[in-house]
Amino acid sequence: MAGKIKITIDGKEIEASPGEKILWAALDNGIYIPHLCAGRDHHPPSASCRLCFVEIEGYPQPVTSCTQEVTGGMVISTRSERLDRIVGTGFEMIMTNHLTDCKACPKNRSCELQKIARERKFRLKPPRLPRLDRELPVDDSADGIKHDPNKCVLCGHCIRACREKGAGVLGFARRGFERVVTTFNGAPLGESGCNSCTACTLVCPVGALTLKV
Amino acid sequence: MSNKNASPALEQLRDQAIKNRASLEGKTLILVGTATCGRAVGALDVVRVFREEIERLQLDAAVIEVGCMGHCYAEPMAVIYKPGEPGICYGYLNEGIAARLPQDYLVEGDPCAEFALAAMEVHEYIPTFQDFPRGLIEQKAVMEHCGYIDPENIENYLAVGGYGSLAAALDRNPSEVIGEIKDSVLRGRGGAGFPTGLKWEMCGGSQEKTRYVICNADEGDPGAFMDRTILESNPHLVIEGLAIAAYCAGAAKAYFYVRAEYPLAVERIKKALQQAEKLGIIGKSMLGTKYSLDIEVFQGSGAFVCGEETALIASMEGEPGLPRHRPPYPAVAGLFGKPTVIDNVKTLSYVPLIIKNGAGWFRSIGTEKSPGTAIFALAGKLVNTGLAEVPMGTTLSQIIYDVGSGIAGNKKFKAVQIGGPSGGCLPEETLDTPVDYESLSKAGAMMGSGGMVVLDEGDCMVEIARFFLDFTQKESCGKCTFCRLGTKHMLDILERITKGEGRPEDINLLLELAEDVRAGSLCNLGKTAPNPVLSTLRYFRQEYDAHINEKRCPSLMCKDLIAYYILPDKCERSCDACVGSCPVEAIFSNEDRIKVINQEKCVKCDSCLVACPPQYRAVIKVSPPDEVLRREKGVK
């Protein structure tokens, strides 16, 4: 194919388009790299979930594959002791802050966190760190949408979807550990101007924004 | 771009400024330091009293508000230049002393040596600042004129050669000027130490026509105040540096990013910019050349993370102040996606000096890899707090003991915290470390922006680590996983330890988390957040162990691990000072009239310890708290 370049991921030689990010090249070729916040059309990438780390030959530190462009002849690995440790710790931290109630969750079996845990053999309830629950109120004021911020992983997909397809009422607020996805002034979704397009529920990788049943 | 007429134009302005100054000749000049450090202890009252007294005594004198000379410990300060006599600097002023000086010195001729801190030139019986131990070490480059010139009067700056470097730069090609800066090996003083000339070259060489230059004055480290002092004391120096940087980078627009918590700095920069624009030094066709530059002041809203350059840019674009992934670096794609140079206040302040004195001069100061001087804000348990400008390579002990005059209150030195929340705590055995970028990183701290907080034996290192992590956790923007949740987990563990609930496995957990947060975080706030924990674990492991294994705080600082106890053999019995001071009535007299603390009622407020007269010193702190029981049983 014209204009394509060759890279190696985990010993497998694959073709990628110049300028493409490693994450998408890998996923397109059946190589899984954990990720929550990345999107193909995100410019610049959010790079906030910190789960898609890979190692590249010649680079001293692991890099996030959602931000790193491929170059010809690049030799990449998605697994190593060092990578497993960083990604494992990141995942563990997210899980301590994610209400893990899988059996009662509508996202059970289609949850991105379950997928990462399965692929990388991580535990959904890691024993090393204590839980960091925030016990925020669940918002089911909008037609058709239920928002449980205790499950949110702050990937930002819903905010993007709401701006592109919906009424654009969602956004990030507060800082540090208090950071949340919310509406203007923290109004309940039903009073925020939300038009119940449910685009947010389609992109939420976990069970934070779900269709009301 | 150069047409060599900037220097003659400036020459004219300087001559005019010197001519205008002649009106002050024959007058007595009273310079009062009214930077924030002086104002905090009443400098404005001192100014008012001086003015009233001069008015009352009908003296031919002028009171001029200046910045800070770096001797913040002795504020409010004033320098009095009486015609025909060496200037005398008075420290620790108050309204009473200020009311006396005009009468005693200016009218009656008694220089009041008892209030004098130093003489500005050789004096019969008052030592000069050069006679101080710090006089041998300090080398003032950036701070040369701080505290000596009126920051609100551009003519003062012009008269000492100000804007000469800008004129010289405008008469040369930008590439020549960048060459000079590169040749000087000037490194960014914001913390990372990136070569400044290289940054300018990257931006200046861009294909993109619109470019920006930003002066980062979003100083936010606890205990750091170098940038504030420079901006308040000599704003024109920074403006000159910023203008030269903009000329080199080919930018038509430059910004000061100052935090809104520095109102005086904002005011003085704005005033300085207006004056410079009025004289045609900044603005359209600067100094008669073809180069035009617009400088604007942008006030940050107080987020610590906005000192990080990508977050700073985001906040200027009207977005939330969150960091972005680098690369692309701002020099390639910065503000509004255009190439942007971002330099710290101190970095820019060196630029006019390098153009004026040459790259060789700059390289002759300091060390080979870190040339020039370093400016530190000395804070904490020192005798002499304030600003110190020393050559790079000066050792920590010289700064602490010679410039800062050692530890206050006859206490023992324990550690020095360098580099703020991103830095580390260094113990006594590392005091021979020279201050330069490489040596400090090797020792486990970092150059940072230049905050230096000295800690004594009464400071618990676990509590210090907890304090800094609490700071980073509160100031974390919350965008990325490791900084948002990792620092929270680490903070929870440290809190547990300071409360005496630590577990033996906590130390390893802290070390593991610290390493992962460092490796995994998005921006440098998160990447460096574990440093205070790592450095205290490296040098003060025994304190962590005492907290965890013995539930004891060796520095008697952690509230949950101490108790107050009144030594029966030292208690004077008939003195009721402690009883009266206790806000919760926890102290009572026993049958021998010895005072005893009811431990269940005690809220550990420290009032009794302060109230107990120094000749008795009967109230002590003990750790662990059940030490009280042991002692009480031992007595009975």
- Domain of B339, CATH number, reads 3.40.50.11540
pLDDT on residue B3: 58
Q: Which of B63, B64, B76 is nearest to B36 (CA)?
A: B76
Residue B106 sits in the same domain as residue B239: no
pLDDT on residue B192: 79
Measuring CA to CA, how many Å separate B293 from each of B165, B168, B197, B273? 16, 16, 20, 12
Residue B107 sits in the same domain as residue B184: no
pLDDT on residue B1: 47
Confidence of residue A78 (pLDDT cuts 50, 70, 90): very high
Helix (H) or strand (E) holding B548: helix B541-549
Residue B521 lies in a domain: yes
| Length of chain B (residues) | 636
Residue A71 sits in the same domain as residue A106: no
Residue B445 sits in the same domain as residue B467: no
Q: How many domains does chain B have?
A: 5
Tell me whether A154 touches chain B (CB under 8 Å).
yes
Question: Which has more confidence, B192 or B227?
Answer: B227
Residue A12's domain spans which residues?
Answer: 5-79
Nearest-Cα distance to chain B for A151, in Å, is: 14
**Any bridge partners for residue B322, and if so which?**
none
Residue A204 sits in the same domain as residue A100: yes
pLDDT more than 90, % of chain B: 86
Residue B555 lies in a domain: no
pLDDT, one tens digit per residue, over A5-64 is 999 999 999 999 999 999 999 999 999 999 999 999 988 899 999 999 999 999 999 999
End residue of a domain, out of B506, B528, B549:
B549
Chain A residue with Cα closest to B510: A129
Residue A84 lies in a domain: no
Residue B344 sits in the same domain as residue B386: no
Residue B205 sits in the same domain as residue B340: yes
Q: Which of B208, B209, B183, B211 is nearest to B198 (CA)?
A: B183
Nearest-Cα distance to chain B for A32, in Å, is: 19
Nearest CB among A93, A154, A175 relative to B489 is that of A93
pLDDT, one tens digit per residue, over B481-504 is 999 999 999 999 999 999 999 999
Residue A141 sits in the same domain as residue A207: yes
Nearest-Cα distance to chain A for B507, in Å, is: 13
pLDDT, one tens digit per residue, over B156-175 is 999 999 999 999 999 999 99
End residue of a domain, out of B422, B456, B490:
B456
Residue B333 lies in a domain: yes
In chain A, residues 105-134 whose CB comes closer than 8 Å to chain B: 128-130, 132
pLDDT more than 90, % of chain A: 93
B327 cis-preceded (ω within 30 degrees of 0):
yes
pLDDT on residue B389: 95
Residue A195 sits in the same domain as residue A108: yes
Residue B128 lies in a domain: yes
CB spacing of A89 vs B485 below 8 angstroms: no
Residue A102 sits in the same domain as residue A66: no
- Looking up tokens 């033996």 gives B504
pLDDT on residue B633: 84
Q: What is the DSSP letter of B382?
A: B
CB spacing of B520 vs A90 below 8 angstroms: yes
Residue B181 sits in the same domain as residue B261: yes
CB spacing of A85 vs B516 below 8 angstroms: yes
pLDDT more than 70, % of chain A: 99
Which residues in chain B are closer than 8 Å to A64, comparing Cβ atoms? 325
Nearest CB among A62, A174, A175 relative to B519 is that of A62
Span B618-636, average pLDDT: 87
For residues B258 and B231, the answer to whether their CB atoms sit within 8 Å is yes
Residue A87 lies in a domain: no
Residue B121 sits in the same domain as residue B25: yes
pLDDT, one tens digit per residue, over B544-567 is 999 999 999 999 999 999 999 999
Residue A12 lies in a domain: yes
Which residues in chain A are closer than 8 Å to B306, comparing Cβ atoms? none
Residue B594's domain spans which residues?
Answer: 562-635
pLDDT, one tens digit per residue, over B267-308 is 999 999 999 999 999 999 999 999 999 999 999 988 899 999
In the predicted model, is pLDDT for residue A1 greater than 70?
Answer: no
CB spacing of B478 vs A62 below 8 angstroms: no
Residue A190 lies in a domain: yes
Number of neighbouring beta carbons within 10 Å of residue B491: 22
Residue A75 sits in the same domain as residue A97: no
pLDDT, one tens digit per residue, over B526-540 is 999 999 999 999 999
Residue A100 sits in the same domain as residue A201: yes
Q: Residue B404 maps to which CATH number?
A: 3.10.20.600
Residue B130 sits in the same domain as residue B176: no
Residue A71 sits in the same domain as residue A104: no
Residue B568 lies in a domain: yes
Q: Residue A28 maps to which CATH number?
A: 3.10.20.740
Residue A101 sits in the same domain as residue A162: yes
Residue B75 sits in the same domain as residue B204: no
pLDDT on residue B635: 58
CB spacing of B521 vs A50 below 8 angstroms: yes
End residue of a domain, out of B422, B437, B456:
B456
SS3 state of residue B493: helix
Tell me whether A183 touches chain B (CB under 8 Å).
no
Residues 6+ apart with CB under 8 A from A177: A132, A134, B473, B476, B478, B484, B485, B488
Residue A88 lies in a domain: no
Which residues in chain A are closer than 8 Å to B512, comparing Cβ atoms? 89
Tell me whether B520 touches chain A (CB under 8 Å).
yes
Nearest CB among B484, B516, B521 relative to A176 is that of B484
Residue A129 lies in a domain: yes
Confidence of residue B16 (pLDDT cuts 50, 70, 90): very high
Residue A111 sits in the same domain as residue A195: yes
**Any bridge partners for residue B214, and if so which?**
B255, B342
Q: How many domains does chain A have?
A: 2
Q: Residue A177 maps to which CATH number?
A: 3.30.70.20
CB pairs under 8 A between A and B: 88
pLDDT on residue A213: 78
Residue B154 lies in a domain: no
pLDDT, one tens digit per residue, over A158-198 is 999 999 999 999 999 998 999 999 999 999 999 999 999 99
End residue of a domain, out of A50, A79, A108:
A79
Tell me whether B509 touches chain A (CB under 8 Å).
yes
Which residues in chain B are closer than 8 Å to A130, comparing Cβ atoms? 489, 492
Core vs surface per residue B129-145: b (16+ CB within 10 A) or e: beebebeebbebbbbeb
Residue B465 sits in the same domain as residue B451: no
Which residues in chain B are closer than 8 Å to A59, comparing Cβ atoms? none
Residue A61 sits in the same domain as residue A166: no
Residue B33 sits in the same domain as residue B111: yes
Residue A107 sits in the same domain as residue A58: no
Q: What is the pTM of this model?
A: 0.91
**In the numeric block, which tokens belong to residue B546?**
């005492």
Q: Residue B506 maps to which CATH number?
A: 1.20.1440.230
Which residues in chain A are closer than 8 Å to B477, comparing Cβ atoms? 175-176, 179
CB spacing of A93 vs B475 below 8 angstroms: no
Residue A85 lies in a domain: no
Residue B614 lies in a domain: yes
Residue B336 sits in the same domain as residue B377: no
Which residues in chain B are closer than 8 Å to A132, comparing Cβ atoms? 485, 488-489, 492
pLDDT on residue B618: 95
Phi, psi of B555 (to 5 degrees): -95, 0
Chain A contact probe: residue of B477, B479, B487 with most A CBs at under 10 A: B479
Residue A24 lies in a domain: yes
Span B137-146, average pLDDT: 93
pLDDT on residue B64: 95
Residue B554 lies in a domain: no
